[in-house]
Amino acid sequence: MQLYAKTEEAIQSVLAKLAEDCVASMVAAGATLVQVISEPTKPLSKLVLLHNVLEHSEGPPNQPMREVYAKVAAEIDEGSGAFKTALDNEMASFEALAGR
């Protein structure tokens, strides 16, 4: 049972690290305000700004807003793809260790 518990703990540790890295790529994640301000603008912050501008404007979004959205959505898709690739690699390593 101890071996199972250690294995479970190791898996949770790897998954937590992958999740933290994914979140850090989307949202400013500094420990202090100075660290957060010093980070480059992350995709979620860009979407929030775009949302706030659109929320208080009249009519449909214009072409520049659509272009910004497309660019930010591509950044988010890239980050999600990187997370999925890293997760798939870790799962393949786990499966290899498990003998599957």
Q: pLDDT for 17-73, tens place per residue?
A: 988 888 888 888 777 888 878 888 888 888 988 999 988 988 889 999 999 999 999
Classify residue 95 as exposed, middle or buried by CB count within 10 Å of its CB (0-12, 13-18, 19+): exposed
Band (94; pLDDT cuts 50, 70, 90) = confident
For residue 29, give its domain range.
2-98
Better-predicted residue by pLDDT, 8 or 86: 86
Q: 93 pLDDT exceeds 70? A: yes
Rounded CA-CA distance 16/9 in Å is 10
8 Å CB contact between 11 and 94: yes
The number of distinct structural domains making up the chain is 1
- Site of tokens 């101890």: 2
Phi, psi of 98 (to 5 degrees): -75, -10
Instruction: Give CA–CA dist 25/30, Å, rounded.
Output: 12
Q: Does the structure show a pLDDT above 70 at 4?
A: no
